[in-house]
Structure 1
Amino acid sequence: MNDHVHELLSAFIDGELNEEERKKVADHVAECRQCSTELKELQWLKEELFAVYHFIEIPNVQFEHSVVRKIKQISSPYRPMNRYVRWTMSFIALLMAAFILSKMGNVFYVGITLATSFVHIGLSVTHALASVLSSIPLLFLACVIISMVILGTSIWAIQFLLRVKSLE
């Protein structure tokens, strides 16, 4: 008999087959020595797994918490800083920032103004380009190609400049 039922044996043991499939497997196993042996092995394996499973003790929730607490103790090599030390370090950093800003007041103000202006210009150009490109689809493709050429040339130029040795 060539119609072995290997794929149905596990479901047969677990009682997951309908009546027609169950009868087919039972009839086949009665005639086929190979499938009968495989069925006996699967039943033995299931019994052994259940026997082992009953001996396993499931730890309570406190066990899990104690393991997690132990892992946290091992994995954190430093102790948290004292609250006063953090406040003192923050205050010193704030004083240093205030001192630097007071010495660079005009430079900082001009830098922020320039950066804001560049952002506004960039946004305006982006808006204008989006308006133009949405009205002319081929122009969009041309801009993408030109942008890629400019980007490629820029990358090549930067790499070239980084490779050039200084003339000192």
Structure 2
Amino acid sequence: MTLISNTAAYKWYPVYTQPRAEKKAFQTLVNKGIEAYLPLHRQMKQWSDRKKWVEEPFIKSYLFVHITEQQKTEVLMTRGIARFIYFSNTVATMPDRQIADLKLLLASPYELEITEENLQPGEKIIIKAGPLKGMTGDMVSYRSQKQLVLKLENLGCSILVNVAASIIDRF
């Protein structure tokens, strides 16, 4: 009989939060000892009297939890969490690689755009230099520009990244 590693039981799950409750729900999960990831990006906000850089959730009303099957109830009992995301009638999971790619993208200096449009897959490419080196995705033409697309399949959205043609290879 073989023992399964304890880390194998942990999976990334996307959860849907109540509107504008992402940061509070994230902090509550962390306080409970649950590993969570809330993708944030800096954005310039303008009010009538001032401008200020603020960190906004990159994917509105979503955050990700790295939990075991047994911890699902604890997550759902967290204030601000509405529900788990379902895909084909089962709770959706995110591959570790997609979470790592998302973290890498948000840490990069590239301008990112999230879209819910159903973008058609193009050539498979790999980035060969820079902060995104090793990342793979699809090349698409979007708004007459060639862009790398990281598809978050179970969320029904894609992240568009403008990258220079000189740092990509086809595979």
Q: TM-score band, normalised by the shorter chain?
A: under 0.3
Q: When you count strand as a share of all residues, which structure comes out higher?
A: 2
- TM-score normalised by the chain length of structure 1: 0.15
Q: When you count helix as a share of all residues, which structure comes out higher?
A: 1
State which structure, 1 or 2, has the greater radius of gyration over its C-alpha atoms. 1
- TM-score normalised by the chain length of structure 2: 0.15
